[in-house]
Structure 1
């Protein structure tokens, strides 16, 4: 079986060191090789200029990535990065919040948006400086197969981390006919689904997973947990029963992902 590969995108901006450092740390953690990808926007092929850019990419690499493969091509960054990931058979794509996906348009029509929608690989969006492996991870779940795949992917990539798995549930007819019995039944149902969900994921270590079932809308609940617990990483699936991420990518909830201070791993549900 070939060794796993981490594909990391760099745009040579000042903040490119963050995804590069995280990619190096992740590759060491999972025993993977690293391919560094740079996209030269627009057409036009000037061999001398391209070679100069490749030298600049090489010069920007941290000591841990001096032996990494480097690839570069012309075109639209989102499309080219997705193609690189496919060609390199990458296991995960690491990107940052630089020129291609700045905080002002994060997850809205950017390289990250395109990768989440079209790449088969998980996309790790790095905001913070990488100083240690991820130790605390928050996973948002709606108990769907997509959420399960995201959970299992995170468990595989970060087996030593501690997980907080959060579900936000609603109470049927609460606005029209409030009922303590209905509210309690909804909570019990959500907790039973949570127990079954975690059992399906089969965490490798006892005590590695803490679960929370909270009433409310998912965006508010997750944001509150991120503020309270300050996890190193937030993990979400790009498809699911609630369609949260698809709504996030195209609606008001995108502001939540802009504000999250933690890194974010988005796992797109595998096509049937």
Structure 2
């Protein structure tokens, strides 16, 4: 993942400053510019009149502590649309996990969900203490489709020192229909094993996609709801960060039918990086162009 600029949003509270520290750690590791923006918790409530002064002090302290370039975003109105607009010019957005419990959020979604849709940029929801530095273990939730390859590559490049675990949870789609048709248990069991075998083959294909990190990439397979199983696996494997892709869908579709990425956000207790499908598509295009250029040379 080529990170050149990061936007961190903070409410200047102790919890909000942990978000800034996490973003600063990532910026230092990638040599990126860190932009820091103020917004009240969950983008709700009135803006702090003293936010400009407090934000300036935070920027100076972070720049000195981490030895990175830091830019203060002067917009202190604390509005979500302002943060989404600023995120369009960054490679990564880092926010806290303060939930919005208003009735409007029930229909529109939580701030992180709205930002993923509006900015179409990777959004890191930071929940863990970042004083230890980078991530020790990263869990990547994959769906075995072609788009999973750039997601794995992105996770590997996100933190060069982390161990990577690929995880896929499958649910045999037609098992219920087979039971309804009174198919024998032996046939259903064979079908279930065939689904598991296919998942293992695709996981091997995905792990081979990251040649430089192959010796540090492991994989595991679960069975059941993908979002819930990914959150459970994050706790089981003690992964600091869970990376999940999100396909582009309208807010109404997400509200009516749900989204694996958004349900992972709700159930996970660790940090979560949500990567929109368009960001993965752009990465695929860059990779293909690089290969073509290398072949022409």
Q: Is the CA contact (8 Å cut-off) linking 1:146 and 1:238 kept in structure 2?
A: no
Equivalent residue in structure 1 for 2:54, among 41, 52, 56: 56
Q: Is the CA contact (8 Å cut-off) linking 2:97 and 2:127 kept in structure 1?
A: yes
1:234 aligns with 2:242: yes
Equivalent residue in structure 1 for 2:269, among 256, 261, 265: 261
1:195-215 deviation digits (Å, cap 9, x = unpaired): 222333x24223211111222
Query: Aligned to 1:73, what secondary structure does the other structure show?
Result: coil
Deviation of 1:95 (Å): 0.7
Q: What TM-score does the superposition give when structure 1 sets the normalisation length?
A: 0.80
1:195 aligns with 2:208: no
Change (3 A) 1:259 1:145: same
Matches within 5 A, 1:83-94: 83-86=85-88, 89-94=89-94
In structure 2, stretches of 5+ residues that fail to align are: 282-297
Q: Is the CA contact (8 Å cut-off) linking 2:207 and 2:214 kept in structure 1?
A: no
CA–CA distance in structure 2, aligned partners of residues 74 and 82 of structure 1? 14
1:19 aligns with 2:19: yes
Aligned residues: 257
1:79 aligns with 2:81: yes
CA–CA distance in structure 2, aligned partners of residues 170 and 53 of structure 1? 49
Deviation of 1:220 (Å): 3.1
- Name whichever structure is richer in helix by fraction: 2
Q: What TM-score does the superposition give when structure 2 sets the normalisation length?
A: 0.74
Q: Is the CA contact (8 Å cut-off) linking 2:135 and 2:241 kept in structure 1?
A: yes
Query: Aligned to 1:160, what secondary structure does the other structure show?
Result: coil
Deviation of 1:237 (Å): 0.3
1:154-175 deviation digits (Å, cap 9, x = unpaired): 2222122111111111225434
CA–CA distance in structure 2, aligned partners of residues 204 and 248 of structure 1? 39
Change (3 A) 1:107 1:259: farther
In structure 1, stretches of 5+ residues that fail to align are: 43-48
Aligned equivalent of 1:8: 8
Q: Is the CA contact (8 Å cut-off) linking 1:107 and 1:257 kept in structure 2?
A: no
Query: Aligned to 2:73, what secondary structure does the other structure show?
Result: strand
1:112-132 deviation digits (Å, cap 9, x = unpaired): 111111223211110011022
Q: Answer with 191-200 or 180-189: which moved more.
A: 191-200
1:186 aligns with 2:184: no
User: CA RMSD for the aligned pairs?
Assistant: 3.4
Matches within 5 A, 1:54-203: 54-61=52-59, 63-66=61-64, 68-73=70-75, 77-86=79-88, 89-98=89-98, 101-102=99-100, 109-130=109-130, 131-175=132-176, 176=179, 177=183, 178=185, 179-200=188-209, 202-203=210-211
Query: Aligned to 1:188, what secondary structure does the other structure show?
Result: helix
Deviation of 1:189 (Å): 0.9
Q: Is the CA contact (8 Å cut-off) linking 2:167 and 2:222 kept in structure 1?
A: yes
CA–CA distance in structure 2, aligned partners of residues 61 and 103 of structure 1? 30
Deviation of 1:221 (Å): 1.8
CA–CA distance in structure 2, aligned partners of residues 238 and 8 of structure 1? 21
